[in-house]
Amino acid sequence: MTDPAPRPQRRPIVSPCVSVCIIDPQSGLCRGCKRTLDEISRWVVMTDEQRLAVLDALPHRPAP
């Protein structure tokens, strides 16, 4: 009997945080990563699809 082939390791989707955590009061976006407080707080429980949706939206958000 042979061992099954090892599954490739999936890499986690890394947070876009750049350690500049200041929420702009007008836009509600972080000045460092452009995420909302809700997105920041839920990041650890988001699915990969939800994280990718946030990452895809970031370049289209205004600079806070």
Cα–Cα separations (whole angstroms), residue 23 to 17, 33, 34, 39, 45: 12, 10, 9, 12, 21
Q: What integer is the mean pLDDT of 29-53? A: 97
Give pLDDT, residue 23: 97
Give pLDDT, residue 1: 56
pLDDT digits (tens, 9 = 90+) for 22-40: 999 999 999 999 999 999 9
Give pLDDT, residue 8: 65
Give pLDDT, residue 62: 92
- What's the pTM? 0.80
Buried b (16+ CB within 10 A) or exposed e, 16-30: beeeeeebeeeeebb
